[in-house]
Amino acid sequence: MPVVVVESPAKAKTIEKYLGSDYRVLASFGHVRDLPPKDGSVDTDNDFDMKWEVAADSRKHLKAIKDALKDDQTLILATDPDREGEAISWHLLEALQPALKKGSAVSRVTFNAITKTAVTEAMAKPRQIDQPLVDAYLARRALDYLVGFKLSPVLWRKLPGAKSAGRVQSVCLRLIVDREMEIEAFKAREYWSVHARLATPGGDEYDATLVSLAGKKLDRFDLAAADQAAMALSAVASRDLKVASVAAKPASRNPWPPFMTSTLQQEASRKMGMGAKACMSAAQRLYEAGLITYMRTDGIDMAPEAVMAARDAIKAKFGEKYLPKSPRMYKNKAKNAQEAHECIRPTDMMASPDKAKITADDQRKLYDLIWKRTIASQMEAARMERTTVEIASPDDQVGLRATGQVMLFDGFLRVYDQGRDDDDGEDSARLPAITEGEAARLVANAFDDELAKARDKGGDVIAAPAGLQGGPGMLVSEAAQAAARQHFTQPPPRYTEATLVKRMEELGIGRPSTYASIVTTIQDREYVRKDKNRLIAEDKGRLVTIFLLKYFPRYVSYDFTADLENELDEISAGDRLWREVLSRFWKDFSKALEGTSELRITEVLEAIDDALAPHLYPPRADGGDPRVCPVCGQGRLNLKTARSGGAFIGCTNYPECRYTRPLSAPDGEAPIGDRVLGEDAGDQISLKTGRFGPYVQRGDATEEAPKPPRASIPKGWEVASLELDQAVQLLALPRPVGPHPEDGVLIEAGIGRFGPYVKHGSKYANIADVDEVFIIGMNRAVEVLAAKQTRGRGAAAAPLREMGDHPDGGPIQIMGGKYGPYVKWAKVNATLPRDVTPEDLTIEQALELIAAKAAKSPAKAKKPAAKKAAPKAAAKKPAAKKPAAKKTAAKKPAAKSDEG
């Protein structure tokens, strides 16, 4: 029977169900070949010849395919419908050539969704491998290899602590570093706004904002200080007002187009806090289950039959009035659009989230998002009425404006409204019925509550002139019918994964299939950390970026990277030759590499120090030299690197002066340097700073005691505000808690390299809070130690979840381990990926993880049933132990045939 090859076993299982017993469907488990991770895999002297190597864990999968081809030489390559999928098919064909006879039938099929209709239609329209797509992959892979294996060693040698560089990752990192520098260079600017609470003759209240003063339209910074705001506030509060005009204009909002990869990642981040990697993992499962179309795409167009199905679903679920007269058509606006694919949509429009059978929580939420966005994209527009009311004083010295809107018809908003990264300022307040020419009465005491809340929160009270009241950040008129609010301009926000992907897409950097891995890579390298969903550049990331900007500016240029992506697109369209693109790139890149061969580390640090000088050494308020050490007053500050790869600012008088501070020290941070905290038991207790951070010390080093008692400052403690009693407590650790009630062995509490702990003999147990080390009592200590023992190796841990039996026999279980949950089958233990929880793991995923782990450790991957055979043989001949061992060994060929 014909052999069909796809990437994953889950996909293989679904497709085999659709094709029936006439086909054999096998999985390649992703790429089967790659460039060996060593220098020379791309031969730049031999027309960029690439040396491929079959991965160790892929040999078993290739063998299974080769064995299947012995019965039928018809090979159908059905990998994903994108550049990467085409490359996997090409690799498979290259690796399987020795098993194929001359004239063997080899074809390529693609389908945008794993449904019976899509699969059967694709099988009826086979084609050959698209060589231009493969060429584009080869060029991309070679480029990434050359940058990674030629530029990374330069980083390792010239910049201590740096890990590696990447063609696209380094540009992505630059975006985050540039944003961080913008934030730190930002200077807040003060401005004020004035507001009034007004009432109609009928008593209905509404809010208005001052927009003109003394006959002049107010711009944002016209009221730049409290005294100007006070004058404007008095002008409003002292005048009679009336409605000058009322303008009501109809407005409409059209729905957003269906999802493509980048917009799906952005919306999943906004609405669900889901990272790009987790989003794509959940989408992959939905695709393999046949619930959505292919999830790596730049396209937003929808197949005509899908459009009609969406319209049918809208009519059935929401009625005719929500259905536009004609279908909505969307055209792709993305820069550098990849090979045209359909949008990401449900395969069955009638399968609403409440009807789709999805057990995993993240997949269910993501499917809900995709279904709603798709359905909404074909719905009627939302209709509303926007009203603008202009209010003025009779002398035209004061002008205010009130705005609001009324929803007339919700349209697509009944189903879906897109999340926002930042407030877009849209005013959705409701206004009462207001008539032109009517009086606008100021409402007394309208701002009393706001003023009281501001005062309760605390803060500096704004000094108020006569006739006004002051509060933190605001001024209020005497009768509290008007208020002025203080504002400060805000720095640009740090990137989230959503806004970073959006910015990369705008610049034409990367592609749908790469966004998730790029963002994950720069975090794994510790160049960037995520805090409250915001991406923050670490010192390592700053140094790498500045180094690359200094010595390889072209290769971290946004335009250059986007232009290179354009060239790769042209290769995939058959308009460029991939080797020519590589040749032109390598010619300039190799020269840039040669230019750094003579660089010394000290030169690099000096260059980076100079490049970062405006950021590292901002002007001082007293006008003094920002490079002079603030502790000793004699040494100069310069950039230093630590063994860990981080960087800091230190004094040139080290070790006499131990002043240090981080690169990104916040404004006003007290300098960290040696200082005496006080005396205890006749010893001087000092705070010092060493190469591994701040610490406290008892006494001074002498010939008799070259290493006096020391203790590192725990994470979370404020070094600048450290007091004597805290230092003494640290130096007294480990603290005796008391003898254990069972054996009398002393229990101690302390802080070690892995954090706070309690110790009983040679047994340690971690505790969560550093402060608990100083107060933990006997009952709590015994409880912590007992809990650790039940989790230890001595007790058989209960499975977190039973998955069922393996096809080869034996239970599959999810266990909790020291380094996180893992799948256990026989002797195979496979760690769960970070983005997969024990509750969400499917049996197909578990089998993939087990197979991948077993391929690396084949000795452990024996069937559990084979182990049971030995005792049976021994039972027949108790004395003949050796023959029994032979019989057990003789079962190995059977295991091999099962694998094949």
Residues 592 and 606: their CA atoms lie apart, in Å, by 20
- Token readout for 478 is 């005497």
Annotation marks residue 294 as catalytic: yes
Torsion from C-alpha of 633, 637, 640, 642, nearest 10 degrees:
40
Token pair belonging to 721: 């505000």
> What backbone phi and psi angles, to 5 degrees, belong to 309?
-65, -40
Over the Cα atoms of the chain, what is R_g?
Answer: 34
CB 583 within 8 A of CB 52: no
The contacts of residue 88 (CB under 8 Å, 6+ apart) are: 7, 28, 30, 31, 32, 79, 80
Three-state SS sequence of 708-754: CCEEECCCCCCCCCCCHHHHHHHHCCCEEEEECCCCCCEEEEEEECC
Instruction: Answer positive or negative: Cα dihedral of 713, 718, 724, 730.
Output: negative
Structure tokens at 165: 């560089």
Contact 459, 466 (CB under 8 A): no
Contact 8, 29 (CB under 8 A): yes
Secondary structure (3-state) at 551: helix
Q: Which residue has the tokens 């005796």?
A: 736
C-alpha closest to that of 363 among 232, 272, 244, 437: 272
Contact 696, 676 (CB under 8 A): no
The alpha carbon of residue 150 and the mean position of all alpha carbons in its chain are separated, in whole angstroms, by 27
Q: How many CB atoms lie within 10 A of CB 146?
A: 21
Rounded distance between C-alpha atoms, residue 274 and residue 363, angstroms = 11
β-strands 106-108, 75-77 pairing = parallel
Instruction: Determine contact, residues 532/296, Cβ cutoff 8 Å.
Output: no
Q: Which two tokens stand for residue 444?
A: 């007394």
Check if the beta carbon of residue 659 is closer than 8 Å to that of residue 629. yes
Burial class (CB in 10 A: 0-12, 13-18, 19+), 88: buried
Q: Does residue 655 have a cis bond before it (omega within 30 degrees)?
A: yes
The type of residue at 405 is Q
Of the candidates 23, 206, 294, 322, the residue annotated as catalytic is 294
Omega before 734 within 30 of 0, i.e. cis:
yes
Distance CA 748, CA 778 (A): 10
Return the structure tokens found at 6.
Answer: 């796809």
Q: Which residues pair with 388 in a beta bridge?
A: 247, 403
Judge whether 676 and 685 are in contact, CB under 8 Å. Answer: yes
Residue type, 267: E
Tokens of 419: 């999340």
What does the buried/exposed string (b/e) look like for 851-878 if buried means 16 or more CB atoms within 10 Å of the residue's CB?
bbbbbeeeeebbbeebeeeeeebbeeee
The catalytic residue positions are: 294
